[in-house]
Amino acid sequence: MLIDAPVNNLSLGNVSLNIVRELIRREHPISGIFPVGDNADFSAYDKLDPDIRTEIIDLAMNRLKNLDGKQPTLRVWHLNQSERKLSDNQYLFSFYECDSPTIEEIRILQAQTHTFFSCSETVEIFKKAGVNNVSYVPLGFDPDFGRTNKEYLGKGVTHFGLIGKWEKRKNTERIIRTWLRLFGGKKEYQLTCLVENPFFKPEIMQQLKMQACDGKHWNNINFLPRLKTNSEVNDLYNAIDIDLSGLSGSEGWGIPAHSSACLGNVCVVSNCTAHKDWASGDNIVLVEPEGKEECYDNVFFQKGNPFNQGSFYKISDESIEVGIQRGFDLYNENQNKYDRADLIEKFSYKKTVDGILNVMYN
C-alpha cells in the first residue's frame, strides 16, 4: 500500500496521522508514504510514539524505492486535486460539506477505485448524483486525548468552549454574539475560543474578533492563539464544561465537538450532516436546523467554482440561543464530566482502518 496524505497540524493531517499510526501498529504493509507538499510536520504530536514517528519518516524518505503503479494507494485529501494519482488503484478518503455535486467533483470520484466519506449523508448525496463507488467510514477518537482530572478555572465558574477555525459555515461569529448576549460581562461565565484560521491574515482575524464582540473588550471571553501541541489542546478540552463547537451548519465530521463529547463535556450540536452519525447520548444537546442557505462566503466557498457548490443547513440565532441555554441547564443538573466510554469504543481509528481495509482487500 502507498499512502498519499498530509502530515501536519491541521485537521486533515490529524486524520492522516491517526490512520497511518493504526496501520503501523497492526504491521500492515506500507511501501511508502508521500506527505502532501513533501513535508512532514510532527510538531503538534508531542504524544506520538517515537518509534512510529521514525517509521513514518523512514517510509517517507524511501517512498520512491518501492513505487509501483499497480499497488493500491490510500489518499487522504480534498476532492480538488484528487484526480492526481500515484497508482492506478487509488482509494480516496475525503470530506465534503455541501449538497450539490458538480460535474468536476463527480468525474473525480468516478475516476477513483473507491472513495470513503466520514459522513453518511454525503455518501447518499453522491449516490443520488450517480456516483456508486463511495461508502461511509466514520472517524475515531484520537488516542492522544484523554482525561487529565485537573481543576482549571475553579468552582463557581462555568466554562464554555468554541473550537474550530473561524468560518461562516461554522457560525463562529453568530455563536460568539449569541453567547455574549446571554453571558457577556458576567465573570462567573467564561468563553474560551480557539478559532484562529491559518488561511486568514492576522489583521483579518483581529478584525473578525472585534466585529463579533461589537468592538468591545469583554472581561469573560478569551481568544487563544493557535495551540502548538495536542497536549495543550487536550488541556483545553478538559477545561471546558460546555462545548459549542458543534453549532455548525455543515461538517464532514466535527473533530472538536466529537472529541469534546468523548471526554464527557456537555456538547451543543446541530442535528445535521456528519453530526447525525455520532451525536447522541446523555451529554449531547441537539439543535435542529431550519432549512438551508447558500454556502457561499466568497472566501472558501465561491459561487460558480468547480468545487463546493450548493447549500449548508441553516441554524437560526434563536436556535443557537436556545441550544446554549439548554446546554447550560444540562450542565447545572450534573456539573461533572459524563462517562462516554461508549462513544470512544464505538468510534475508534481501529474501526476506521478496518472499514478502509475491508473495502480495499475484500
pTM value is 0.96
- With cut-offs at 50, 70 and 90, classify the pLDDT of residue 154: confident
Whether 133 contacts 113, CB under 8 Å: yes
Write out the three cell numbers for 138: 466514520
- The full set of domains in the chain, from first to last, is 2-140+348-361 (3.40.50), 158-346 (3.40.50.2000)
Percent of the chain with pLDDT over 90: 96
> How confident is the model at residue 153, as a pLDDT?
86
DSSP character at residue 18: H
- With cut-offs at 50, 70 and 90, classify the pLDDT of residue 322: very high
List Cα–Cα distances, 208 to 174, 271, 315, in angstroms: 11, 27, 20
Comparing 144-158, 217-231, 278-292, the range with the smallest average pLDDT is 144-158
Is the pLDDT assigned to residue 135 strictly greater than 90? yes
Write out the three cell numbers for 202: 492576522
- Please state the rounded mean pLDDT for residues 106-129: 98
Whether 19 contacts 352, CB under 8 Å: yes
DSSP character at residue 226: P
CA–CA dist 359, 362 (Å, integer): 5
Residue found under cell 467554482? 305
- Please state the rounded mean pLDDT for residues 202-215: 96
Q: How would you classify the pairing of strands 292-294 and 311-313?
A: antiparallel
- With cut-offs at 50, 70 and 90, classify the pLDDT of residue 177: very high
- Please state the rounded mean pLDDT for residues 281-301: 96
Is the pLDDT assigned to residue 329 strictly greater than 90? yes
Crossing angle of helices 317-334 and 172-183, rounded to 10°: 60
Q: What are phi and psi of 72, to 5 degrees?
A: -70, 140
Neighbours of 102 (CB within 10 A): 18
- With cut-offs at 50, 70 and 90, classify the pLDDT of residue 62: very high
The residue type at 261: A
CA–CA dist 103, 117 (Å, integer): 18
> How confident is the model at residue 334, as a pLDDT?
87
Return the C-alpha torsion angle 193, 310, 118, 105, nearest 10.
-130
Is the pLDDT assigned to residue 155 strictly greater than 90? no
